[in-house]
Amino acid sequence: MKITKYPQSCLMVETHNKRILVDAGSLKYQDHFLEEWKKADVILITHKHGDHIKSDVLKTLEVPFYSTQEVSNAYSEMKFNLVKEGDILKFDEITVEVVKAIHGYNPNLKNGKEVLENVGYIIDDGKHRLYITSDTICFPNDYKADVVALPVTAHGLTMSSYEAALFTKELGAKLVLPLHMDNPSYPTDLDYMKENFEQFEVPYQILEIEESIEI
């Protein structure tokens, strides 16, 4: 499984000759990303915020899109295959589990910006389980994954690195890919993040934009 990071929470996952693009958003978008995004076989969106979906670009792609009813309502110019928590998607040898996610709240999300429907995705290729959590606060679950990509910025909207480290331990994951760190409005305390991951003995790797990792 090859994972390539794009800004904020966007990942391209390549396995079994399939490319799954997740949360291709507008934050720090660069035109040349489109050449790679065009190669996606499937695009998954977790929730409606613009840093997770760049609709003006994505709507030009002839690719099947999967997301929630709330996202479909927000971007009526796009056609979505609707998903909800508990759904199972099959793409040849790849299984995608649609799982729970709870977007946090702070007063910046007034006037229609609050997320009421949010999902994460666990991508299972038979060898690895990659859990992409979406922007979520911590919650009890029985999910299992060996790699987890999650936000660590807190600010009421997502887990901090402290909860993220504990969340990872419960998953049984052997590697964390921290996400959601490219928005200057919600800066990440990298020293605090490293302190928490190291305290709880959670291996992590920070990917730069367009950097890839093979697992």
Edge-to-edge strand list for the sheet holding 94-100: 88-91, 94-100, 119-124, 129-132, 147-151, 175-179
pLDDT value of position 157: 95
Query: Which residues make Cβ contacts (< 8 Å) with residue 2, sequence separation at least 6?
Result: 13, 14, 15, 212, 213, 214, 215
pLDDT value of position 87: 98
H/E segment holding residue 165: helix 161-171
Query: Which residues make Cβ contacts (< 8 Å) with residue 180, sequence separation at least 6?
Result: 8, 9, 135, 151, 152, 153, 158, 186
Contact in structure between 197 and 176 (CB atoms under 8 Å): yes
DSSP structure string for 99-161 = EE------GGGTTTT--S--EEEEEE-SS-EEEE--S----------SEEEEE-B-TTTS-BH
For 45-93, give the secondary structure using H, E and C: CCCCCCCCCCHHHHCCCCCCEEECHHHHHHCCCCCCEECCCCCEEEECC
Count of positions (residues) in the chain: 215
pLDDT value of position 179: 97
Q: Against a cut of 0.85, is the pTM above it?
A: yes
Query: Which positions of the chain have pLDDT values less than 70?
Result: none
H/E segment holding residue 37: helix 33-37
